[in-house]
Amino acid sequence: MAHVRSVFDVIGPVMIGPSSSHTAGAVRLGRLARAVFGEQPAAARITLHGSFASTGRGHGTDLALVAGLLGYAPDDVRIRTADAEARAACMDVTFTEGDLGEVHPNTARLELSSADGRTVTVQGSSVGGADVVLTAIDDFDVAITGELPVLIVEHQDQPGVIASVSAVLARYGVNIASMEVSRERRGARALMVIETDEPVAAEAIAAVAAGDGVTGTRGIPRV
Domain-by-domain residue ranges, the chain? 12-138, 150-220
Residue 159 CA from chain centroid, whole number: 28
- Those residues whose C-beta lies under 8 Å from the C-beta of residue 210, and which sit 6 or more positions away, are none
| CATH architecture, domain defined by 12-138 | 2-Layer Sandwich (3.30)
Position 98, amino acid: G
Do 12-138 and 150-220 share a fold? no
pTM for this one? Answer: 0.86
Characterize the bridge pairing of strands 43-49 and 107-113: antiparallel
CB burial string 45-59: b at 16+ within 10 A, e below: bbbbbbbbbeebeeb
Q: Is the pLDDT of residue 59 over 90?
A: no
H or E element that contains 111: strand 107-113
Q: What is the pLDDT of residue 19?
A: 53
Three-state DSSP at 151 gives strand
**Rounded-to-integer distance, Cα 61 and Cα 24, Å:** 9
Out of 16-25, 77-86, 160-169, least confident range: 16-25
Give the architecture-level CATH label for domain 150-220: 2-Layer Sandwich (3.30)
C-alpha 111/C-alpha 54 separation (Å) is 20
- The interaxial angle of helices 61-69 and 25-37, nearest 10 deg, is 30
| Cα gap 158→212, rounded to integer Å | 9
Residue 122 to residues 1, 65, 138, 207, Cα–Cα distance (Å):
39, 12, 6, 26
CA distance 61 to 77: 14
pLDDT digits (tens, 9 = 90+) for 90-115: 999 999 999 999 999 999 999 999 99
Tens digits of per-residue pLDDT, 166-189? 999 999 999 999 999 999 999 999
The pLDDT-based confidence of 28 (bands split at 50, 70, 90) is very high
**pLDDT averaged over every residue in the chain:** 90
